Structure 1
Amino acid sequence: MRFEVLILGNSSATPMYDRHPTSQVLNFNEQLFLIDCGEGTQMQLNRYGIKSNKISHIFISHLHGDHYLGLIGLLSSMHLIGRKSDLHLYGPIGLDEILAVQFKYSETMLRYNLIFHETSAERPEVIFENRTLKVSTFPLTHRIPCTGFRFDEGQRARTLLMDEVEKENIPVAYYQVLKKGMDYIADDGRVFKAADFTLPAPLSRSYAYCSDTIRTASYLPYIQQATLLYHESTFLHDMVDRAKETFHTTSLEAAEIAKETAVGKLLLGHYSARYKDLQPLLAEAQSVFQHSMLSQEGKWYTV
């Protein structure tokens, strides 16, 4: 089952060095989710071949412009190209009011239902859940209310031992029964135990997204053992005082957090415009947490 993240933008505050403000697409089993929507997001979607009308849910972490100023344009373009399907938007208090004002004075009546879900920066919440995926928010500590997001895969199916299944001529229609861990009972009464014809299910995967935050212990329980953690790393650690002043994190701190929470891999991003060369941020992070990576625009990262 596909579970991967495409980086559309990884710059902080302003576009710089052909890096764009924050935005990501998460593809979970061909269902597309947009995480933050900085300026230029719809251009990046076009650049990397993502059809915006396939996006079903949009998650906005907070109301600093580099995380949502692309939203008006994207929603308007969806309207202009004839979107009909519902679009769910999750974001902080005030986002719906901002959109209402924009649409009021442009006299825009969307052709589709835009369903707004207000998130809380005070407490963790489950904001979306179906049979295969759960999306949760958790509070971050920034200059304004801000939330992180965690995407948790549901229980995965067991793996069929095809040679054994075919040897016993078990009907294809019952493969899913075995993969769910249930036994198959043949017409003649024979019982074929799932444990004999499958391997245990692979571990469920998870993606945690920490946009803008100062380093605190408060959100660490919510990112524990994530398969892939995206964490802002705005500054090198020699600017830790500036990071604290602006409620951001250094690459060293992001790596320490990744190590402390036992995540699988760390993806760095939200780079300050002062850094043209990002290799020093990567080197700093890898000195603490070896499985650190620089996020690169246009690249998919497997969860």
Structure 2
Amino acid sequence: MEPFKVHILGCGSALPTLKHFASSQVVEIREKLFMVDCGEGTQIQLRRSRIRFTKISAVFISHLHGDHCFGLMGLISSFGMLGRTAPLHVYAPAEFETMLQAQIDLFCHGLEYEVRFHAVDTTVSQVIYEDKSLTVETIPLQHRVPCCGFLFREKPTRRHIRRDMIDFYHIPISQIDNIKCGADWTTVEGDTIPNARLTTDPDPVRSYAYCSDTKYMPTLHKLIEGVNLLYHESTYDSSCANRAELFYHSTSQQAAMVARDAHVGKLLLGHYSARYDDETAILQEARAIFPHSELSQEGMSVSVL
């Protein structure tokens, strides 16, 4: 199977700490790299991760709070100094476009590549990016400012042709693609060999949902049903449930409820409040509801399976 990984660059919240960086991830899928949120310190984390970050083709910004976007301007500037020529696509709430362009004009005059801005409607679930191998959909969330998550979903691949069948029936190379697409094979004797005998099932479709800052949404699970991997903010444990409600954040228990109701494969917790020196309580409370829960940490790479 082609690589499908989530690289955690930062999983802290708004206040800087010595333990966690602000929110940022890189989604690696079929040799493509996409950034999700870009808080301060993202460039340092990219260097540490040894990700070839010049290959990042698009940045998805969930909302306009600084811990999710303050690092973007520095990244754009560095791309310019590194001689980037390929366009960089930025997907973000519409309000960001004017400010981003003003910063580019001020700090990056004469930039030799194009930054293409795509306004995102955070109130609806829709496909905002598509290529031959995947789609990216928005996930409307409820925060203090317009906010959405992002759902990365592979497109179905073709069937796998069996090497022993190629050799046995002397199938020419010119016909392999047709058979992968479902065609049968007719031998020189006129016998039809059904496709099911010539091929094996394609790789299962994989998906990853990134749910940024949001209050608990009882119906959120309907939009992310069955995803292989879910990242859901878990700023607080249950002792701070009142603060979570006040500031439109979620507890780890609430994140686990979403994961359980959506029947996801694995839950990644993140966006920890700076009040926690140890996130053990956050993890324990989540696992009591959804056992396949895990703490995200900087430097972690998680395969989507």
Matched residue count: 303
The correspondence of residues 166-177 of structure 1 with structure 2, limited to 5 A, is: 166-177=167-178
Contact 2:141 2:149 in 1 (8 A): yes
Q: In structure 2, the residue corresponding to 1:42 is in which secondary structure?
A: helix
**1:188-219 C-alpha deviation (Å, 9 max, x unpaired):** 64433221122222321110010100001343
1:50 corresponds to 2:51 = yes
1:21 corresponds to 2:22 = yes
Letter of the aligned partner of 1:233 in structure 2? S
Equivalent position of 2:135 in the other structure: 134
Equivalent position of 1:120 in the other structure: 121
CA RMSD of aligned residues (A): 1.6
Equivalent position of 2:166 in the other structure: 165
Distance 1:160 1:294 in 2: 39
Q: 1:192 to 1:13 in 2, by over 3 A?
A: same
Structure 1, 4-13 or 291-300: larger mean CA deviation: 291-300
Distance 1:192 1:87 in 2: 47
1:35 corresponds to 2:22 = no
Distance 1:189 1:15 in 2: 71
1:152 corresponds to 2:114 = no
Distance 1:176 1:4 in 2: 27
Distance 2:237 2:76 in 1: 35
Q: CA deviation at 1:187?
A: 5.5
Equivalent position of 2:251 in the other structure: 250
Equivalent position of 2:211 in the other structure: 210
Equivalent position of 1:69 in the other structure: 70
Equivalent position of 2:13 in the other structure: 12
Distance 1:283 1:255 in 2: 11
Contact 1:133 1:154 in 2 (8 A): yes
Query: Which 5+ residue runs of structure 2 have no aligned equivalent?
Result: none
Structure 1, 218-227 or 176-185: larger mean CA deviation: 176-185
Distance 1:154 1:171 in 2: 27
Distance 1:59 1:110 in 2: 21
**1:164-203 C-alpha deviation (Å, 9 max, x unpaired):** 3332232344333323222234566443322112222232
Letter of the aligned partner of 1:116 in structure 2? F
Equivalent position of 1:225 in the other structure: 226
Letter of the aligned partner of 1:159 in structure 2? H
**1:222-255 C-alpha deviation (Å, 9 max, x unpaired):** 1111111110011001111110011000111111
Query: Which 5+ residue runs of structure 1 have no aligned equivalent?
Result: none
Q: In structure 2, the residue corresponding to 1:115 is in which secondary structure?
A: strand
Contact 2:233 2:255 in 1 (8 A): yes
TM-score of the superposed pair, with normalisation by structure 2: 0.94
**1:106-159 C-alpha deviation (Å, 9 max, x unpaired):** 362321111100001221121011221011112100000001100110012223
Letter of the aligned partner of 1:15 in structure 2? P
Q: 1:191 to 1:254 in 2, by over 3 A?
A: same
Percent identity of equivalent pairs: 44
Letter of the aligned partner of 1:179 in structure 2? K
Distance 2:73 2:188 in 1: 59
Distance 2:231 2:211 in 1: 6
The correspondence of residues 291-302 of structure 1 with structure 2, limited to 5 A, is: 291-302=292-303
**1:44-79 C-alpha deviation (Å, 9 max, x unpaired):** 111111222200011000000000000000001101
Letter of the aligned partner of 1:169 in structure 2? H
Contact 1:37 1:69 in 2 (8 A): yes
Q: CA deviation at 1:29?
A: 0.6
The correspondence of residues 228-239 of structure 1 with structure 2, limited to 5 A, is: 228-239=229-240
Equivalent position of 2:99 in the other structure: 98
Q: CA deviation at 1:220?
A: 2.6
